[in-house]
Amino acid sequence: MRLRQPFRSAHGVVGHRDVLLVRVVTDGGDGWGECAAPVEAGYTDEHVRGAHTAVRDDLAPRLLALRSCSAEDVAPALSAVTGHPMAKACLEMAVLDASLRADGLSLATLLGGTRGWVEAGVALGIPGSIDELLDAVEAALGDGYRRVKLKIQPGWDIAPVRAVRERYGTDVVVQVDGNGSYGLEDADVLAQLDDFGLAMIEQPLPAAAPLAHHAAMGVRLRTPICLDESIISAAVAAEMIAAEACAVVNIKPGRVGGYLEAKRVHDVCVAVGVPAWCGGMLETGLARAANLGLAALAGFTLAGDLTPAERYLENDIAEPPARRGAMVQVPTAPGVGAVLRPEVVASATTSVERVR
């Protein structure tokens, strides 16, 4: 099904997000999955329209062809279809939700989570001015968060970071995210960020950049480099870490094809002592609940992009988790842990298709 969810900011509703949900109906109960793909292609190869088509025409029929299906069966069954990790992750999540509900287990328990509360940080986009950025940081700190992530790009990097540090000093954990907008030739510019005591610089180079370029950037900068878009599987994570292309890993379940592969990426990081954190894709509270279950694993030692969806959605489809300042409670209910609001789901739904 497709949903239309309004975005909001401190200034009111600023747009809408097109959401793809999948509901799996089994003999043991139903399960829900959410696709993390954005509305338009660009940031990723995937987008909601393409994911919808892939699920309906290529992926769901392969699962339905199985006589029985566990979450571990999803990836092998869909492996013949090239690409579409976010669409595949959506189906895996729905099967996980259904099977866990039937077994009375939470996602955190299945994965081996050890914590009941995890720390969330706030991610801030590129505003219209430095004053607006400082206002946004002030609001985040006022809400109790202790880590802020600033989006940067060529021409918007040194000045905004300097302004935040001058205003708030080093008491605030600050990291920046380049979203792959820099080249190796920008190393001298990014090296200026070393003076600000940042927790990390996330994905400065495009994911498609050669491995040698990522490694060279890591040598050039004192600030730890975190890779996000480049991490598409546990095998790739191991390769990047071995090449010293990153010192931190951002794990996004949708990007790596699901929560079971995300757990394997986590295990790679733990094995070699590389810190990890759980990223987000502006999902609804459904996927945010599952992300909290993943982030309960011991290897997620850094604050993740785990703020409740009500921070940026006008009327979320799930009940928000409990929060104490920067700490967010990990769901313990069977399944992925989300408590859906049926009336919101119904009012936000724009289309429904059934695949049998």
Give pLDDT tens digits for 94-119: 999 999 999 999 999 999 999 999 99
DSSP 243-276: TTS-SEEEE-HHHHTSHHHHHHHHHHHHHHT--E
CATH number of 2-104+341-351: 3.30.390.10
Give me the residue label for tokens 């592969």. Answer: 261
- The yes-or-no answer on residue 151 being catalytic is yes
Dist CA 255 CA 264 (whole Å): 13
With a cut of 90, say whether residue 296 has pLDDT above it. yes
The amino acid that residue 115 corresponds to is: R
- The yes-or-no answer on residue 252 being catalytic is yes
Give me the residue label for tokens 């295990």. Answer: 267
Q: Where in the chain is the domain with CATH 3.30.390.10?
A: 2-104+341-351
Q: Where in the chain is the domain with CATH 3.20.20.120?
A: 109-329
Single out the catalytic residue among 88, 149, 252, 263: 252
Query: 20: which 2 tokens?
Result: 């793809």
Tell me the average pLDDT across 125-136.
94
Distance of CA 8 to the CA centre of its chain: 19
Long-range contacts of 10-15 (CB under 8 A, 24+ apart): 10/135, 10/136, 10/139, 13/314
Give yes or no for a contact between 254 and 291, defined as CB atoms under 8 angstroms apart. Answer: no
Tell me the average pLDDT across 162-187.
96
Q: Say what the pLDDT of residue 20 is.
A: 97
Q: Say what the pLDDT of residue 12 is.
A: 57
- Is 197 in a helix, a strand, or coil? coil
Dist CA 73 CA 63 (whole Å): 9
Give pLDDT tens digits for 183-232: 999 999 999 999 999 999 999 999 999 999 999 999 999 999 999 999 99
Dihedrals φ, ψ of 229, to 5°? -60, -25
Angle at 327 between CA 164 and CA 232, to 5 degrees: 80
> Which region, left, alpha or beta, applies to residue 164 given φ > 0 means left and ψ of -120 to 50 means alpha?
alpha
Percent of the chain with pLDDT over 70: 99
Q: Which fold has domain 109-329?
A: TIM Barrel (3.20.20)
Q: Say what the pLDDT of residue 10 is.
A: 56
